[in-house]
């Protein structure tokens, strides 16, 4: 259990620090909606305030509902992540990494909600007419963590299925 907790604290602290430092920089050096090309024509740094969840989900909902929802969900997610982490084997480094990434990302965005009532987004990818909603380091950590968990579940299930098929096809 010691490795899991030490890793969770270390990795999520790095993510939170990187997330908060980049957001502070954008918040103090950019005007709202200011955009600076970084890699034309696909990537800009653009200061956006996200009052909703991922991709602006719930941004148009009643402010009181949003405030309550976004004050309750991140602590609940943190409790769930810690509960799951308890059951993970110390050998399962990828799952520990994924859960720690989600944990750090959730806290990074929660800090913004506590400080400002919204999340600062600034990573702005687009190509021709396609525009991906702006996001931040915390969002990236959450998405990467979820993708790793999904990848693991898919291949674990596939491995278990093929193992079962192999053992049931052995002639007696």
Cα 70 from Cα 106, distance rounded (Å)? 11
Cα 136 from Cα 107, distance rounded (Å)? 13
Which of 19, 112, 121, 124 is catalytic? The answer is 121
Which of 19, 112, 124, 139 is catalytic? The answer is 139
Cα 35 from Cα 79, distance rounded (Å)? 37
- Enter the tokens of residue 100: 């720690």
Helical H segments across 30-92, by residue range? 63-87
| Residue 48: exposure state from Cβ atoms within 10 A (0-12, 13-18, ≥19) | buried
For residue 133, what is the DSSP state? Answer: P
- Enter the tokens of residue 82: 């810690």
- Whether 121 is catalytic: yes
What strand order describes the sheet that includes 119-127? 35-39, 43-50, 119-127, 130-131
Q: Which residues are catalytic, by number? A: 121, 139
């Amino acid at each position: 259990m010691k490795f899991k907790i030490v890793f969770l604290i270390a990795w999520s602290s790095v993510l939170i620090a990187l997330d908060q430092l980049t957001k502070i920089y954008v918040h103090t050096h950019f005007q709202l909606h200011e955009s600076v090309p970084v890699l034309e024509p696909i990537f800009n740094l653009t200061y956006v305030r996200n009052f909703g969840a991922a991709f602006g989900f719930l941004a148009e909902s009643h402010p009181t509902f949003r405030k309550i929802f976004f004050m309750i969900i991140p602590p609940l997610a943190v409790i769930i992540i810690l509960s799951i982490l308890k059951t993970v084997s110390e050998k399962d480094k990828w799952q520990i990494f994924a859960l720690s990434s989600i944990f750090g990302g959730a806290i990074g965005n929660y800090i913004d909600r506590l400080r400002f009532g919204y999340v600062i987004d600034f990573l702005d990818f687009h190509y021709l007419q396609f525009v991906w909603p702006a996001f931040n380091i915390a969002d990236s950590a959450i998405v990467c963590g979820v993708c790793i968990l999904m990848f693991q579940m898919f291949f674990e299930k596939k491995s278990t299925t093929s193992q079962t098929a192999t053992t049931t096809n052995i002639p007696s």
